[in-house]
């Protein structure tokens, strides 16, 4: 059984192509009937094949759609449109090297040699090399997606050095990168209605958009011109914001906040009035209690006076009784 579907992208695509051309897939790929059944079932689940009587019919066959579908289940972010700027440790005469190695090239802008490696455009500049990545890289977040893109870049640089027969030290950075959230509900709704959303600022220009540019149903993309220090981090923040919205089932909207802020203001006014009334009643009760306490103190003083009077009376009576006994 195949566990890592994305690593078998080429195999799945080949099966689609052979099916479309009515080829004998088992013979062409030298695979068992059981494995072929598994692959076809998976392609059927993803919506690329269907069985019509005893024949398999191809419904979709583009490689980019297939790559997207294979990653849809487990991943959240699609990194793509990477352009890498590679600074090298010395200046090379690229034309001389290419001609010596008999490598075909074209001149961009009349002076920059351009070659292709695995369908990637490679510009050989005077002080740097530019690599235009054609693949998409999937991850649970933008940083993971970029990590896989870096692995691919290093592989491409190694192949370039081997092809040119040179070795150079280098460091690199992305001068363009796009990250798409591939399961975004807002994007899905916009795509279905044929609508677009573009958010731009003066720093990065268009930095967030939904336009279904590559047929990716439900993809909200972030990117920009490159002035933002870390576009992967920006994408993670956008992803976190959407996930935070999801926790409230997208009920915390600007309208919700405005309405509830007004209600809260009204409740605060009512609460202040209630506190004022309670304070006034409390002061009144304190005053009444104070007056009651004064009356009670007077009663106690009167009782104490009466007790002293009775005590003196008892003393006098005892004295008279003693006198009578002596007589």
107/194 same-domain check: yes
43/80 same-domain check: no
How far is C-alpha 313 from the chain's CA centre? 95
210/287 same-domain check: no
Q: Sign of torsion, CA 317 320 324 325? A: positive
What is the β-pairing status of strands 106-108 and 112-117?
antiparallel
Whether the pTM exceeds 0.75: the reply is: no
Indicate whether 119 belongs to any domain. yes
Q: What is the DSSP string of 295-320?
A: HHHHHHHHHHHHHHHHHHHHHHHHHH
Q: What is the DSSP string of 76-135?
A: -EEEEEEEEEEEESS---HHHHHHHTT---EEETTTEEEEEETTEEEEE-SSEEEEE---
Q: What is the pLDDT of residue 97?
A: 95
Q: How many structural domains are present in the chain?
A: 3
Q: Which two tokens stand for residue 284?
A: 């009144």
49/106 same-domain check: no
Q: What is the pLDDT of residue 2?
A: 36
80/49 same-domain check: no
Residue linked to tokens 């449109």: 81
303/214 same-domain check: no
Indicate whether 1 belongs to any domain. no
Q: Which of these three, 192, 223, 247, is where a domain ends? A: 247
90/225 same-domain check: yes
197/156 same-domain check: yes
89/65 same-domain check: no
30-48 burial, b for 16+ CB within 10 Å, e for fewer?
eeeeeeeeebbebbeebeb
127/211 same-domain check: yes
Specify whether the backbone of 253 is left (phi greater than 0), alpha (psi in -120 to 50) or beta: beta
Indicate whether 252 belongs to any domain. no
63/81 same-domain check: no
Instruction: Give the structural domain span for 297.
Output: 262-327
Q: Which class for 124: exposed (0-12), middle (13-18), buried (19 or more C-beta within 10 A)? A: buried
Indicate whether 257 belongs to any domain. no
- For residue 221, give the nearest of 206, 233, 243 by alpha carbon: 206
pLDDT digits (tens, 9 = 90+) for 234-271: 888 888 887 788 788 878 777 887 888 878 888 888 88
Q: Which class for 226: exposed (0-12), middle (13-18), buried (19 or more C-beta within 10 A)? A: middle
pLDDT digits (tens, 9 = 90+) for 89-116: 999 999 999 999 999 999 999 999 999 9
Q: Which two tokens stand for residue 92?
A: 């090379």
- For residue 209, give the nearest of 192, 228, 227, 222 by alpha carbon: 222
Q: Which of these three, 247, 274, 302, is where a domain ends? A: 247
Indicate whether 151 belongs to any domain. yes
Q: Which of these three, 24, 41, 69, is where a domain ends? A: 69
> Residue 209 belongs to what H/E stretch?
strand 205-210
Indicate whether 172 belongs to any domain. yes
Q: What is the DSSP string of 38-73?
A: HHHHHHHHTTSEEEETTEEEES---HHHHHHHHHHT
Q: Residues, the chain, total?
A: 327
Indicate whether 152 belongs to any domain. yes
Indicate whether 48 belongs to any domain. yes
176/318 same-domain check: no
pLDDT in tens, the chain (327 residues): 334 444 578 888 999 999 988 889 998 999 898 999 989 888 888 788 988 888 888 888 777 777 767 765 566 788 999 999 999 999 999 999 999 999 999 999 999 999 999 999 999 999 999 999 998 888 888 898 899 899 999 999 999 999 999 999 999 999 899 998 887 878 888 888 888 888 888 877 888 888 876 666 678 888 877 666 678 888 888 888 877 887 888 787 778 878 888 788 888 888 888 888 887 777 777 676 666 677 777 777 777 777 777 777 777 767 666 666 565
- For residue 230, give the nearest of 173, 152, 171 by alpha carbon: 173
Q: What is the CATH number of the domain that holds 26?
A: 1.10.10
């Amino acid at each position: 059984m195949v566990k890592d579907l994305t690593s078998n992208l080429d195999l799945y695509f080949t099966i689609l192509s052979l099916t479309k051309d009515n080829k004998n897939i088992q013979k062409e790929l030298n695979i068992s009937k059981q494995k072929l059944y598994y692959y076809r079932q998976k392609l059927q689940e993803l919506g690329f094949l269907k069985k019509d009587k005893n024949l398999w019919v191809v419904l979709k066959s583009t490689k980019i759609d297939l790559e997207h579908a294979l990653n849809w289940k487990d991943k959240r972010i699609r990194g793509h449109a990477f352009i890498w700027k590679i600074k090298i440790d010395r200046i090379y005469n690229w034309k001389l090297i290419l001609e010596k190695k008999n490598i075909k090239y074209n001149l961009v802008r009349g002076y920059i040699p351009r070659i292709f490696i695995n369908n990637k455009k490679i510009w050989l500049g005077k002080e740097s090399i530019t690599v235009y990545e054609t693949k998409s890289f999937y991850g649970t977040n933008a940083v993971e997606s970029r990590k896989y893109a870096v692995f691919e870049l290093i592989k491409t640089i190694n192949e370039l050095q081997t092809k040119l027969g040179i070795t150079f030290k280098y460091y690199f950075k992305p001068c363009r990168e796009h990250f798409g959230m591939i399961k975004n509900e807002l994007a899905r709704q916009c795509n279905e209605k044929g609508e677009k959303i573009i958010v731009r600022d003066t720093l990065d220009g268009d930095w967030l958009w939904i336009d279904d540019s590559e047929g990716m149903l439900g993809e909200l993309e972030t990117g920009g011109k490159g002035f933002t220090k870390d576009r992967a981090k920006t994408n993670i923040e956008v992803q976190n914001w959407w996930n935070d919205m999801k926790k409230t089932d997208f009920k915390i909207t600007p309208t919700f906040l405005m309405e509830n802020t007004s209600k809260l203001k009204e409740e605060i006014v009512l609460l202040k009035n209630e506190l004022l009334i309670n304070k006034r009643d409390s002061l009144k009760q304190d005053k009444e209690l104070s007056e009651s306490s004064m009356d009670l103190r007077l009663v106690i003083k009167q009782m104490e006076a009466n007790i002293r009077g009775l005590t003196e009376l008892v003393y006098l009576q005892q004295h008279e009784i003693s006198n009578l006994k002596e007589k």
